[in-house]
Each structure stands twice: as structure tokens, then as C-alpha cells.
């Protein structure tokens, strides 16, 4: 017979109570795990039928542990540990013509437009990079430089240098932009030197006189210093817009050998002597001429002053940027110009080809930025210069007085600029041609796992970034005719996302 003491009974009761507490705590933890919400994905979409134009989607997208074996296209696997270039920003060129139209708006409407373009809150699109023109471009009402003189005169001391016309439009607009976005980066490009410095004495074509290399370098320095006095910091300059194109008015030719000479003997030393940190970006022309940049960069005396190379895509293939990156990985790549247009009043928007080309392909090929041409034009695509000015250069916005129409270039940039903020880093994501690993159960031995490496031939075009504020941004272009869903894999979890054929989506979620 077992004798149970009062002390033993109390001990047993204590043990039972402790077990109940442990069980209850375990149940509570289970409920907390079950009830913990999955990571939410915010989606901003543009549909080809214009039913959504960079619109935040109301439905909730969540990651889960469920990995469906059914798929329409290859999943996009996000690899946060694979990092590439830092992003400086996305934006437009603020030409004199754009600024002229903006200055004709009422102050209230101009302020509203600038907030929409450059602020990041609400539905504003957060443009973070601006290109200015040093003097006139072909999208000004008329041609001018900052040192125009009567025929036969020269001004080697630059005593008559004056920002002139820019004080009436570009500078006032830039000051208003800086009130909204004080950290915005600015690159500036000349279309031509003052005519008295040129071999042909004309605003179109010609090249820089050898005896004017020094004064032209000081012209750049003067421009940077005078803009700084206006409160405008020039982060970088290109040597010459489209240096092998003499068809614009204004324009000027400068070949690779001349640019090498100018950088190493004149502009580089002039910026250094003036204690200016402004970056030098060479070339600033089409992707069909990677040899130009490689020619300049192989000269170590020139290369020491060069931050990187600028490109346009009116010719050539985007892979040319990767070629230059591979040859000189310590130098940066910039995408400094591209015109993107559509038919006014169109009921559809061909957003996929342009986002794929201008955002996905450009950044996948190492560019730190994307700048489209040009911020604004009127309904007739004016203003522009005669005899070489662009009569079909539609802006991201069309301005008709205070009336604002948003065009395709606006939405292309919006899909990146709002969320891929300066300082973001491109990270790995599955793209067409990449190899993926698939696990399947053996048909005869279900408990045996088989492994297969398969090349992705159908992954949707995409690019991914990690932002400074702790988010992942994924931009996807559905270039298929029938696919309505794709799958994203991130840190072992999965999300199935609906995206209509011909649509583009920007997807944002918090880093774990």
C-alpha cells in the first residue's frame, strides 16, 4: 500500500499546475504564430488599357510558406545578398524650353506640378535626378551661350560671362524644385561652346579651336561657380552632348582624342585648381560607340579625372554599358538621355517596352541613373530651335498654359523614381537565361527528392533593389500575351501576383 502524504499531494498539484501553464503558454505561442500577419506587398500598376496609370492597388498581396508547383512562368527569386551598383536617381532634362513653359504657368499650378514631380509623399512620383543644359539646347526658343560676342571679338578672361537667359527661366524653376527636393542631383551638358571658340564660327557643327581648350575649361568652372551662387549645385558635367552628332542646332563635334586631351590637360586640372568636386562624365552619346569611352579611359592621365561615361539609346545595344563596366569596373555608368513618346490622346499605353528598355535594361547594365528627354513641351512639341531643333520631342508632361497632360515618359520614370530612392542598391533577381534549381519527388520512390537545374527561358523582365529605408523594390514588365500571374520567392516565402499582359508593376515590401 502506497502512502501519500499531504506534502506529496501538494507537490503533485504543483506539477500539474506547472504543466497546464506550460501547455497554455505553448498554445498561446501557437496562436501568436498563426495570427502573425504575413509580409505585405504594396503594388503600383500601369495597365495597357489605361485603367490604371501608376496606381496603387487596393488588394492585399502577402508572402506565404505555400510553394505552388503550378506556374505560368519561371518564378522570380530575390537574392538580397547579390549586390551591384548604387542608384543615384531617375528623372528628366529641364531644358530652357521646359522652364520657359513652366514660367508661363500660374504660380499656384506650377507649384502643384513641381510637388507632383519631385515630392515623394502621396501620389507624387519623386523625381530625383535632373539634367540641365549649359547654354541653349535644341529645345530652347533660340540659341545662346553665356559668352556671346559680336563677330571677330574674343573674351579669353571671360569678363563678359553671364548666365543670362537661364536667370529668366531655368534658375527660377530650379530654385522651386530645390525647395521640394533639396538633395536632387544635377548633371549639366553643353550643346556647343560659344561660337568665337569654334573652328567654324557657327552655332551648328564645327569643333573647339585648340587655342580655346584652356578658356573653355574655365568656362565650365565659371558656370559651376555662378550656379552655386544661385544656390544650385552641379554634381556632374558632361564634356559635350552627342559629340559625334553635328545635326542639332546648336551642336559641336569633339572626337575621343580631343576629349582625352581636353580632360587631362584642361578641364580636369581646372576643376581641381578651383577646388570643385564636380564629376566629369565623358562621351554622352549612343551605345553603338563603346570604343569612344574605352579610348579615353585607357589614358591614365585623363582617366584619373573621369567619374564615368554617359549614354543615350538612339543607337546600339544596352550591353555596351556592361562591356565598358567590365573593362573599367571602377568607373561609373550613367544614362543621360532618351526621348520616349506616344500618340497624344491614345486609348492605350505601350508601357512594357519602354519600362523594360529604359528602367530594367538600363539598370541591369550597370547604369546608376536614368534621365529621359525632356521635361515639358507644349501641344505642338515647341519650343525648339530652327534648322536642327527637335519638332517631335514630346515631354513627359505636355503644358498648355496651366493644363497638364501626362505622357508615357512620366509613367516610365514614376515606376522607378518614387520608391527606388538615391542610395538604393541593385540586387539579384531571376531573369531570362538564369539557371534555377527545382526539387521534385521521385515518381517511383516518393520519399526521394530529385534535383534539376533548368534555364529560365520565360521569366518576366524585372529588376530589384534594396532601398536605404529598408525595403525591397521589384519592377516587373509583363511582356507576354497571356500570362496573368507570376511568382516571387523571397527568403523562403512565396507570393503569387496578378499582372495583366502588357502591364507593368512596381512591388514594395519591408526587408525581414
Round to the nearest angstrom and report the end-to-end CA distance of the chain: 61
Edge-first strand listing for the sheet containing 89-93 = 332-337, 306-316, 279-287, 236-238, 185-190, 129-134, 89-93, 369-372
Strands 55-56 and 40-46: antiparallel
Give the helix ranges, DSSP H, for 387-481: 408-417
Q: Which of 306, 233, 313 is nearest to 264 (CA)?
A: 306
| Domains of the chain from N-terminus onward | 40-84+427-510 (2.60.40.1180), 88-422 (3.20.20.80)
Mean pLDDT along residues 133-149: 98
Residue 28 above 90 pLDDT? no
At 12 the three-state DSSP class reads helix
397-400 vs 403-406, strand pairing mode = antiparallel
User: Residue 12 has what pLDDT?
Assistant: 44
pLDDT > 80? residue 179: yes
Report, as an integer, the average pLDDT of 176-197: 98
Per-residue pLDDT at 19 exceeds 70? no
Average pLDDT, the chain: 92
Strands (E), 317-434: 332-337, 369-372, 376-377, 397-400, 403-406, 425-429
Look up residue 277 and give its three cell numbers.
568636386
Q: What is the pLDDT of residue 23?
A: 47
DSSP string covering 487-506, please? EEEETTEEEEEE--TT-EEE
Quote the pLDDT of residue 417.
98
- Which 8-state DSSP code applies to residue 267? I
240 Cβ contact list (under 8 Å, min separation 6): 189, 190, 191, 252, 254, 259, 284
From the list 406, 377, 379, the residue with the least C-alpha distance to 101 is: 377
Helix locations, 318-407, DSSP H:
319-327, 351-355, 362-364
Q: Using one digit for the tens of pLDDT, what is the confidence trace for 256-292?
A: 999 999 999 999 999 999 999 999 999 999 999 999 9
- How confident is residue 37, by pLDDT bands cut at 50, 70 and 90? low
* pLDDT at 13 > cutoff 50: no
Q: Find the range with the poorest average confidence among 9-13, 81-85, 274-278.
A: 9-13
Predicted pLDDT of residue 220: 99
* Radius of gyration for the chain, computed over Cα atoms and rounded to the nearest angstrom: 29
Residues 6+ apart with CB under 8 A from 8: none
Please give the share of the chain, as a percent, with pLDDT higher than 70.
91
For residue range 380-424, list pLDDT tens digits in order: 999 999 998 999 999 999 999 999 999 999 999 999 999 999 999
Q: Does residue 475 contact residue 462 with C-beta atoms inside 8 Å?
A: yes
Is residue 11 pLDDT above 70, yes or no? no
359: DSSP letter: I
Query: What is the pLDDT at residue 69?
Result: 54
Residues involved in catalysis:
242, 337
Residue pair 383/86 in contact by the 8 Å Cβ criterion: no
Look at residue 453 in the predicted model and tell me its pLDDT. Answer: 76
**Whether the bond into 383 is cis, omega within 30 of 0:** yes
Amino acid at each position: 500500500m502506497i502512502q501519500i502524504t499531504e506534502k506529496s499531494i501538494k507537490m503533485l498539484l504543483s506539477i500539474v499546475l506547472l504543466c497546464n501553464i506550460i501547455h497554455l503558454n505553448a498554445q498561446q505561442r501557437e496562436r501568436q504564430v498563426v495570427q502573425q500577419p504575413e509580409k505585405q506587398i504594396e503594388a503600383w500598376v500601369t495597365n495597357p488599357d489605361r485603367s490604371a496609370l501608376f496606381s496603387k492597388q487596393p488588394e492585399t498581396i502577402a508572402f506565404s510558406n505555400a510553394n505552388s508547383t503550378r506556374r505560368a512562368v519561371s518564378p522570380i527569386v530575390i537574392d538580397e545578398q547579390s549586390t551591384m551598383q548604387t542608384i543615384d536617381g531617375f528623372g528628366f532634362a529641364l531644358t530652357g524650353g521646359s522652364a520657359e513653359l513652366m514660367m508661363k504657368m500660374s504660380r499656384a499650378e506650377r507649384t502643384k506640378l513641381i510637388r507632383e514631380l519631385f515630392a515623394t509623399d502621396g501620389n507624387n512620383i519623386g523625381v530625383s535626378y535632373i539634367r540641365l543644359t549649359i547654354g541653349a539646347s535644341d529645345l530652347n526658343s533660340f540659341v545662346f551661350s553665356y559668352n556671346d560676342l559680336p563677330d571677330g571679338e574674343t573674351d579669353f578672361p571671360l569678363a563678359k560671362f553671364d548666365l543670362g537667359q537661364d536667370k529668366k527661366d531655368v534658375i527660377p524653376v530650379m530654385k522651386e524644385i530645390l525647395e521640394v527636393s533639396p538633395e536632387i542631383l544635377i548633371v549639366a551638358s553643353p550643346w556647343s561652346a560659344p561660337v568665337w571658340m569654334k573652328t567654324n564660327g557657327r552655332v551648328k557643327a564645327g569643333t573647339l579651336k585648340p587655342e580655346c581648350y584652356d578658356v573653355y575649361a574655365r568656362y565650365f568652372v565659371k558656370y559651376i561657380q555662378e550656379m552655386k551662387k544661385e544656390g544650385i549645385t552641379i554634381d556632374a558635367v558632361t564634356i559635350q552632348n552627342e559629340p559625334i552628332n553635328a545635326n542639332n542646332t546648336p551642336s559641336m563635334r569633339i572626337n575621343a582624342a580631343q576629349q582625352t586631351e581636353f580632360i587631362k590637360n584642361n578641364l580636369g586640372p581646372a576643376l581641381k585648381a578651383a577646388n570643385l568636386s564636380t564629376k566629369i562624365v565623358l562621351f554622352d552619346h549612343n551605345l553603338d560607340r563603346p570604343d569612344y569611352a574605352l579610348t579615353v579611359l585607357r589614358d591614365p592621365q585623363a582617366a584619373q579625372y573621369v567619374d564615368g561615361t554617359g549614354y543615350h539609346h538612339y543607337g546600339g545595344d544596352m550591353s555596351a554599358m556592361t562591356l565598358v563596366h567590365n573593362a573599367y569596373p571602377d568607373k561609373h555608368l550613367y544614362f543621360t538621355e532618351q526621348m520616349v513618346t506616344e500618340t497624344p490622346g491614345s486609348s492605350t499605353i505601350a508601357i512594357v517596352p519602354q519600362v523594360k528598355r529604359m528602367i530594367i535594361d538600363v539598370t541591369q547594365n550597370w547604369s546608376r541613373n536614368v534621365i529621359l528627354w525632356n521635361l515639358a513641351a507644349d501641344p505642338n512639341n515647341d519650343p525648339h530651335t530652327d534648322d536642327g531643333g527637335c519638332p517631335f520631342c514630346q515631354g513627359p508632361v505636355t503644358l498648355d498654359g496651366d493644363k497638364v497632360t501626362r505622357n508615357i515618359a512620366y509613367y516610365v520614370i514614376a515606376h522607378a523614381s518614387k520608391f527606388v530612392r538615391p542610395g538604393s542598391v541593385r540586387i539579384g533577381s531571376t531573369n531570362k537565361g538564369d539557371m534555377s534549381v527545382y526539387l521534385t519527388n521521385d515518381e517511383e520512390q516518393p520519399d526521394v527528392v530529385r534535383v534539376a537545374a533548368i534555364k529560365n527561358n520565360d521569366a518576366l523582365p524585372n529588376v530589384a533593389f534594396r532601398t536605404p529605408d529598408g525595403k525591397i523594390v521589384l519592377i516587373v514588365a509583363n511582356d507576354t500575351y497571356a500570362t496573368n500571374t507570376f511568382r516571387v520567392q523571397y527568403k523562403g516565402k512565396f507570393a503569387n501576383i496578378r499582372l495583366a499582359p502588357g502591364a507593368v508593376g512596381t512591388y514594395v515590401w519591408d526587408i525581414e
